[in-house]
């Protein structure tokens, strides 16, 4: 007979442990079977197997039912402890933001720092004062930094191609807005695509590659615009538009938030305008990190609240 002393762990049927635990606690074959969802004959068969494995009867008849042998009394607390430890492995870890001390490295721009960081940091200070945010600039190797773990998340929109292993989480919606200064010669007219060829544009280029889906839309209509200024800063874009006859087609949320400050007219662009989904991009292998999950959910909540506040009752014409 194979004994417990010379048995390898790989040869053990660990699936028998729940039944063994129920038998040792219940001291009754039928009740133990009901607890683990087995029939009484199946549990009797398992008890026979366990007796063979341990070389011990484990349960024997007593004056008022089954009682544990001395060997069963010895192993009972060990079996319970093993099962409790196994359950703990599969139990979702408790996460308390208030006890976390960590720096999250994010790639973003002034859109995020100016528009969202104030409300976001207020919430973080309330819920997780030990978490620090570091918003860093876009570079040509942004996704390499993300892959290597130098940054945790990257802000971008859904038009951004994802590298292998990266995933995106939508955290909010935005739209394009046509922006020009109050008093601009074309501020009162209904714009067409052809008007883009008449006025110089300011564009926001986060990575400096000059790529814009606005130009792709214009090209389909046979229109070419002249870019007078390309900048990675949304605030610089609005400031320049406010002081010149240049125009910009940029974030509605950002433009609406600062229109009064810069004296801007915010209009609907002259093309079909679907929503722009803003995302947080991370690597799939790290997105189950409870801190990352918590931050993404918090960011989404802050974004939606700010969107409601900025755009309340506002309709673009």
- The CA distance from 104 to 136, in Å, is 11
The phi, psi pair for 236, rounded to 5°, reads -65, -35
Q: For the segment 70-114, what is each residue's pLDDT rounded down to a tens digit? A: 999 999 999 999 998 988 888 777 789 999 999 999 999 999 999
- The CA distance from 199 to 249, in Å, is 12
Range of the domain at 22: 4-90
Mean of pLDDT values over 53-59: 93
Is there a single domain that holds both residue 113 and residue 58?
Answer: no
Is residue 163 pLDDT above 90, yes or no? no
Is there a single domain that holds both residue 27 and residue 161?
Answer: no
Position 283 in a domain: yes
Q: For the segment 112-124, what is each residue's pLDDT rounded down to a tens digit? A: 999 999 999 999 9
Position 205 in a domain: yes
Is there a single domain that holds both residue 217 and residue 81?
Answer: no
pLDDT at 22: 94
pLDDT at 6: 52
Is there a single domain that holds both residue 161 and residue 237?
Answer: no
Position 317 in a domain: no
pLDDT at 2: 45
pLDDT at 1: 42
Is there a single domain that holds both residue 56 and residue 198?
Answer: no
CATH code at position 59: 1.10.10.10
Cβ 283 vs Cβ 147: under 8 Å: yes
Position 45 in a domain: yes
Position 163 in a domain: yes
Is residue 315 pLDDT above 80, yes or no? no
CATH code at position 207: 3.40.190.10
pLDDT at 316: 61
Model confidence at 14, pLDDT cuts 50, 70, 90, reads confident
Residue 193 CB partners (closer than 8 Å, separation 6+) = 217, 218, 221, 223, 270, 271
Position 217 in a domain: yes
Mean of pLDDT values over 131-160: 92
The DSSP 8-state label assigned to residue 49 in this structure reads H
Q: For the segment 212-258, what is each residue's pLDDT rounded down to a tens digit? A: 778 888 888 899 999 999 999 999 999 999 999 999 999 999 999 99
Is there a single domain that holds both residue 48 and residue 180?
Answer: no
Is residue 151 pLDDT above 70, yes or no? yes
pLDDT at 28: 93
- The CA distance from 271 to 25, in Å, is 72
């Amino acid at each position: 007979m194979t004994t417990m002393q010379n048995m390898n762990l790989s040869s053990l049927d660990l699936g028998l442990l729940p039944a063994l635990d129920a038998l040792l606690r219940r001291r009754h074959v039928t009740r133990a079977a009901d607890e683990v969802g087995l029939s009484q004959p199946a549990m009797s068969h398992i008890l026979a197997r366990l007796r063979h494995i341990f070389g011990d009867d484990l349960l024997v008849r007593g004056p008022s039912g089954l009682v544990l042998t001395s060997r069963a009394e010895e192993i009972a607390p060990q079996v319970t402890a093993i099962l409790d430890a196994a359950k703990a492995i599969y139990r979702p870890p408790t996460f308390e933001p208030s006890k976390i001390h960590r720096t999250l490295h994010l790639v973003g721009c002034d859109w995020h720092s100016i528009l969202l960081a104030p409300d976001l940091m207020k919430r973080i200070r309330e819920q997780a004062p030990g978490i620090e945010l570091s918003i860093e600039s876009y570079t040509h190797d942004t996704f390499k930094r993300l892959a290597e773990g130098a940054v945790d998340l990257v802000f971008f929109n859904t038009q951004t191609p994802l590298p292998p292993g990266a995933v995106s989480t939508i955290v909010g919606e935005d739209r394009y807005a046509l922006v020009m200064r109050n008093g601009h010669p074309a501020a009162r007219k209904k714009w067409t695509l052809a008007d883009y060829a008449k006025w110089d544009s300011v564009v926001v280029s986060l990575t400096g590659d000059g790529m814009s889906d606005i130009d792709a839309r214009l090209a389909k209509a046979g229109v070419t615009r002249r870019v007078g200024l390309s900048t990675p800063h949304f605030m610089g874009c609005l400031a320049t538009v406010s002081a010149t006859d240049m125009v910009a087609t940029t974030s509605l949320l950002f433009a609406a938030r600062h229109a009064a400050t810069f004296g801007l007219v915010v209009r609907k662009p002259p093309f079909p305008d679907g929503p722009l989904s803003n995302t947080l991009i991370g690597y799939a292998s790290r997105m189950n990190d409870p801190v990352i999950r918590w931050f993404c959910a918090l960011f989404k909540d802050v974004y939606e609240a700010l969107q409601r506040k900025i755009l309340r009752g506002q309709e673009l014409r």
